[in-house]
Structure 1
Amino acid sequence: MTALKFLARRVAATAATLFAVAVVLFAASEVLPGDAATASLDPDATLEDVARERAALGLDRPWPVRFAEWAFAALRLDLGTSAVSRQPVVEIVAEPLGATALLVGVTAAVTVPLAMAVGLISGLRRGGRADRALSAFSVVAVSIPQFVTAGLLVLVFADLVPVLPAISLPPLGGTPLDRPEVLVLPVAALTLFGASWAGRIVRAAVIDADGMPHVEAARLAGLPERVVVFRHLLPAALPPCAHTFAWLLSGLFGGTAVVEIVFNYPGLSQTLVAAVRKHDTAVLEGVGLLLAAIILVSFVLADLLVMAVDPRLRAAAR
């Protein structure tokens, strides 16, 4: 299979999966109690008012017709219009998406090198004190729910030793980069889990790579340990690590909800909570489809990265 055919198959599978997600999102919004018409009207609105609003919003048409219109509009990056605020969904989610992407990006920039360092130290010194200590810490960090970790961080660094803000609100009209300190605790809460989880998988990959014949041959040839590690061991350990970090990236986009809510961070989770509270199905569908697309694309990029760093896959793709 050539690399082009592999990419074509992955893109086709991604498109099919995204279509299935769109169907599920739209169908789920149909069975939820209430709709955009009732949410956009006052509580004392009459049945005639609701019927007129449903007709104005096109909600009186069959749902397959409305789904087809929504799906074709989404292909043009048009996610619909909020029935509550009357704004395009793309405009509503643009700023929160940027804030969540910033949080995910900073967390990934910290987590990936930290997980690689933890995995390398544990894998190269397996059974030693450092390995046992890091393994024990990783198990504890992964076992504790993120909302508990976030609460403990607030207790320690915002209450007992008040050096960081407990609420991660940027300045009015600004972004989190205008007050970088608001990112510290959310990033720390996400990194503790992410680095511990990914570090365990990196450790296993390092142990497997350390036993490969070419790595042992490099050591027997008298090469310095750093040369053995960076030129022979790491390239062999990178392919499984690439998929791990892709899972991590997708998990960060899908799993920032708890941390954003605990720290009142102005990301997509706040937008989703507001949409649920207001029964704003257009925003719910738009955000869900957007997150699914980001997650699926991250897996395609991970597959391409694995192919790029694994010479065996490159040879098979020729």
Structure 2
Amino acid sequence: MTSAVRLAALAVRRLGGALATLLVGSFVLFAAAEVLPGDAAAAALGGSATPADVARMHAELGLDRPVLVRYGDWIGAAFSGDLGHSLVDRRPVAEIISGPLADTLLLAGVCALLTVVLALAVGIAAGLRPGGLLDRLLSGGAVTLVSVPQFVTAGILTLVFSSWLGVLPAVSLVPFGEPLLAHPEALVLPVAALTLFSASWASRMVRAAVVDAAAAPHVEAARLAGLSPARVVLRHLLPTAAGPCAQVFGWLAGTLVGGTAVVEKVFNYPGLSRELVAAVQHHDAAVLEGIGLLMAAAVVGGLLLADLLAMAVDPRMRTAT
């Protein structure tokens, strides 16, 4: 079996596992939304609604059907691209979350790009000389930033750059109808708060991969053969560390989409977290399930991407799988 065929077979197997995981996760999500306190029908009708009105609304929304039947209809429609309609204002869920989803993806995408660049630079610089002064400084700073909760980091950034220096807005307010990219200053603090945490965490993983790769027998043999340090690093050490690093960045790409909630809330960023909070407040299970399914798909997709990237750049992982 050729390497390409083996990689394709492994990719198909991984894809099947990812779909199964997403299916199980979707059922857990649907069940959790069902047991949330409150009633979307009662919330939509208002406090003056009678039990008969609520029962009639349940029938109109299909909430009186068995849970498994409703789950089957929902997941079948979701996999075909239809996330259903809001139980409160009857608008399509896809229409409600399309704008906030684009803003969240923009935030996560910019953060992911900066994270890859910073994590590689810091992780490689620290890992090439483990235990040295530069390693201790960079690793100490990374551990400190990872240990600080994101809302604290966001608060410090707001205090310094908004309250003290007055150079950036404290909240990500954009005039109605204008795109977020027309006001890039609204992105700076949210991106900085996310990137400081994610790049610090990823740099620790990159450092560990570089240190492990430096101890590999073929890297040591290249060093003993008298090759220049630059050639040892570029031709032998970094390719060995590429697989673990690819896994780290693939996983990070998925989790960033669902990991922006705290920062979005602190800066009042117009992303998915705002719609998620509103859905919980109004007991709108359809919107909650739609957002939850998208976030679960992002995480599962990120993990799948991490595996595929690692297998693509490191042949050892294909033979070990």
Letter in 1 for 2:257: F
Distance 2:97 2:144 in 1: 35
**Cα-to-partner distance string for 1:185-228 (whole Å, 9 max, x where unaligned):** 11111111111111111111101111223223333344333332
In the other structure, the counterpart of 2:34 is 30
- What's the offset of the Cα at 1:162? 0.9
Partner SS for 1:5: helix
In the other structure, the counterpart of 1:298 is 302
Contact 1:99/1:175 (8 A) holds in 2:
no
**Cα-to-partner distance string for 1:26-74 (whole Å, 9 max, x where unaligned):** 1112212222211211111111111111111111111111111111111
- What's the offset of the Cα at 1:118? 0.8
Among residues 278, 282, 288, which one is paired with 2:292 in the alignment? 288
- Which segment drifts farther, 241-250 or 180-189? 241-250
Among residues 103, 106, 120, which one is paired with 1:99 in the alignment? 103
Give the percent of matched residue pairs that are identical in Structure 1 and Structure 2.
Answer: 61
Tell me the TM-score normalised to structure 2 length: 0.94
Partner SS for 1:53: helix
Distance 1:274 1:313 in 2: 44
- Which segment drifts farther, 210-219 or 279-288? 210-219
Among residues 10, 19, 22, which one is paired with 1:15 in the alignment? 19
In the other structure, the counterpart of 1:6 is 10
Contact 2:258/2:298 (8 A) holds in 1:
no
Letter in 2 for 1:236: T
* Structure 2 unaligned residues grouped into runs of 5+: none
Among residues 267, 272, 276, which one is paired with 1:268 in the alignment? 272
Among residues 211, 235, 244, which one is paired with 1:231 in the alignment? 235
Distance 2:245 2:225 in 1: 27
| RMSD, aligned α-carbons | 1.6
Distance 1:184 1:8 in 2: 39
Distance 1:80 1:125 in 2: 54
Distance 2:185 2:223 in 1: 45
Distance 1:126 1:312 in 2: 25
In the other structure, the counterpart of 1:170 is 174
Distance 2:169 2:257 in 1: 23
Contact 1:123/1:206 (8 A) holds in 2:
yes
Letter in 1 for 2:203: G
User: Where do 1:198-217 residues align within 5 Å?
Assistant: 198-217=202-221
In the other structure, the counterpart of 2:135 is 131
- What's the offset of the Cα at 1:314? 4.6
Distance 1:164 1:229 in 2: 40
In the other structure, the counterpart of 1:252 is 256
Distance 1:36 1:201 in 2: 44
Distance 1:271 1:260 in 2: 11
* Structure 1 unaligned residues grouped into runs of 5+: none
- What's the offset of the Cα at 1:315? 5.6
Distance 1:250 1:4 in 2: 22
- What's the offset of the Cα at 1:184? 1.0
Contact 2:87/2:284 (8 A) holds in 1:
yes
Tell me the TM-score normalised to structure 1 length: 0.95
Q: Aligned pairs, how many?
A: 317
In the other structure, the counterpart of 2:316 is 312
- What's the offset of the Cα at 1:277? 1.0
Partner SS for 1:250: helix
Contact 2:103/2:270 (8 A) holds in 1:
yes
Partner SS for 1:11: helix
- What's the offset of the Cα at 1:8? 2.1
Residue 195 (structure 2) pairs with residue 191 (structure 1): yes
Contact 2:88/2:282 (8 A) holds in 1:
yes
Letter in 1 for 2:209: A
Partner SS for 1:126: coil
Distance 2:91 2:234 in 1: 52
Distance 1:4 1:315 in 2: 13
Letter in 1 for 2:219: V
- Which segment drifts farther, 230-239 or 216-225? 216-225
Partner SS for 1:82: coil
Distance 2:130 2:66 in 1: 61
